[in-house]
Structure 1
Amino acid sequence: MFKINKFAIALGLCGAMASGAAAADMKVGALFPFSGALALLGQESYRGLELAVNEINAAGGINGEKIQIIKADAVDPTQAVSETKRLISSNVVGVFGSYAS
């Protein structure tokens, strides 16, 4: 598996905020396989991201902004593209995932 570095998440989101993407809640996408053969790995990856986001939010967020995770299921490349477009239209500042699509 892999380890999510909280500093890397915070640094990336700070850059997104500096570019004018800040809002009441800072939205990030979680693009992992939540269904299909890799669903277990997708859930575990999501839990790692969720843990990091919860810790950042508990410490006051980033520049006072709380992070909100928007889930997207990426079972295959076609679905991953579609879900990424949906996340972008939801005004996420970044997308985490997916290693399988």
Structure 2
Amino acid sequence: MAKMHGKIIVCAGVLVISVAPLDAFATDVKYTCANGSRLMVHFSPPNDPSGKARLVFAGSGKTYTLPLAVSADGSRYAGAGTEFWIKGRSATLTRGSSAIICQAD
């Protein structure tokens, strides 16, 4: 019977896990609407249970913070008479009874 000689190489690795703050994965998207309005939308990160979108209108600086709402299609944020409903790169901004279509830049 032949003897086998082998070498065992043991590698030790160090696993480093860094935890990023919630804002690290937040997304900002610029939109231009059919009526010429421009806005920046700051979406909370996917792992944020509050699920909010902050809409900031260029020029006026008017800001709306809308909570995530139930939607069967796309992402919908709604509150206080304002709704921002995203489907792909398009969004519908509704304030009161007025709705306009916006496109991501």
TM > 0.5 fold call:
no
TM-score normalised over the length of structure 2: 0.24
TM-score normalised over the length of structure 1: 0.24
More helix by share: 1
More strand by share: 2
Higher RCO, Cα 8 Å, sep 6+:
1
